[in-house]
Amino acid sequence: MAKCDVCGKDENMPYNCRHCGGTYCGDHRLPENHDCSGLQNWNDPQGVFDSGFDDSVNGGGQSRVSSLADKVPINTGTGGPLAYFRGNATYTFLALMWLTFLAQWLVLLIGSQSLHRSLFMLTSWNVEYVWTWITSIFAHSPVNFMHIVGNSIVIFFFGPLVERYVGSRNFAILFIVSGVLAGLGQVGITVAQGSSTAVLGASGAALAILGVLTILNPGLKVYLYFILPVPIWLLTAGYAFISVFFLGFGGGGNIAHMAHLVGLVIGLAYGQYVKQNRNVSAPNRLEFGGGGPGGPGGPGGPGGPGRGRF
């Protein structure tokens, strides 16, 4: 669900104007109804109506030297190419995760472990490297391929649902804020325990997404391993129990349990806010092909959400 840029109305199926890139309801979807900034080009022969195939438009039969923007096969007018990311923040973040993973390997291949830590890892000894607050969300363990695969599966299946209900901008804010606070939370508790840590992974954001859906529809069915139907609240409760258990009694290997818990709490709180202030609904069951988002690697499956600790 997104808000109309003109009247602020919540819209389940918003319209994105290809001229200005704005988001509008059915009453304001037409350019003339939202005072579209692209209207000023409509009477320009070289603007909206010039296809580039008829040189006579410019008069004299002279050929026109097209700019680079004219050659790009997408709308690069007002709103620009970034307008195409509206409604696709989930897949944009997934792409950034895998591009970051590739960049991690490129840095490691040139043999620079210290550069890798400085660029991608949120560490307790260099927490003032504020860029790592963000890059550590998209970076994952180079030695554990299932780390990024597990997080990607959760975000791929559940992320679009949350984005559809809260809008791309709010989804992006939720993803980044929960990821940053999850990482800082893990660093904070480790320092309080008199130890040190380095954190990376998108599980804080992934569990925030699960938290939102748990509040909006706790009975949402997720099919684990293509077979076992499990309500999403049970998965969420399971993650919460595991995180609290290992935080209280120690252990848990290289899993950042505090990061998981912080992300989950943020998601639950934001889900409650959305439920109280917006009229939203979620499906009762998710199935993709032979199984649901809880298929191999999905929530509760091999390599589920994981924010690594090193």
Least confident of 44-53, 212-221, 266-275: 44-53
> Tell me, what amino acid is at 187?
V
Q: Residue 225: pLDDT band by 50, 70, 90 thresholds?
A: low
Say whether pLDDT at 40 is over 80: no
Alpha-carbon 127 to chain mean position: 24
Instruction: Inform me whether the pLDDT recorded for 288 exceeds 60.
Output: no
Q: Looking up tokens 């010039």, which residue turns up? A: 50
Supply φ then ψ for residue 160, to 5 degrees.
-60, -35
Q: Are 240 and 219 in contact (CB under 8 A)?
A: no
State the Cα–Cα distance between residues 1 and 186, nearest whole angstrom: 32
Residue positions counted in the chain: 310
- Which of 98-102, 174-178, 200-204, 296-300 has the lowest average pLDDT? 296-300
Q: What mean pLDDT, rounded, does the chain reach? A: 77
Domain range list for the chain: 1-35, 87-277
The more confident residue out of 132 and 6 is: 132
Question: How is residue 89 written in tokens?
Answer: 């923040």
Q: pLDDT tens-digit profile of 119-133?
A: 999 999 989 999 999
Mean pLDDT of 5-9: 80
C-beta atoms surrounding 42 within 10 Å: 13
pLDDT digit string (tens) for 184-204? 999 999 898 888 889 999 999
- Right CATH for 87-277 from 1.20.1540.10, 3.40.50.2020, 3.30.230.70, 3.40.50.720: 1.20.1540.10
